[in-house]
Amino acid sequence: MAETNGNYDWQERMRRLEDNIERNWQDHERKDRNIQGLRESMVKQKENVDNLLLALRNLIDRIPPENLR
């Protein structure tokens, strides 16, 4: 980091900062893709649950009331 004359190597520091920023952006983009994938799967799962509940309600509606006691 420090040169022999005591000056700080600012170019090296800036290069490392830029590398860190680039890694952070890549990490952010990866997390964003993962969250989008999770959201899509949750939407599909909710649709499946809604369809299952509808099918159960339809099945219960077909049972004669005297058999529900």
pLDDT of residue 68: 76
The verdict on residue 13 lying in a domain is no
Domain that holds residue 67: 41-69
pLDDT of residue 9: 84
Which residue positions in the chain have pLDDT lower than 70?
A: 1-7
Q: Say how far apart CA 61 and CA 58 lie, in whole Å.
A: 5
The verdict on residue 34 lying in a domain is no
pLDDT of residue 6: 53
The verdict on residue 49 lying in a domain is yes
The verdict on residue 29 lying in a domain is no
pLDDT of residue 52: 97
Is the distance from CB of 9 to CB of 3 less than 8 angstroms? yes
Number of domains in the chain: 1
What contacts 3, CB < 8 A, 6 or more positions away? 9
pLDDT of residue 2: 52
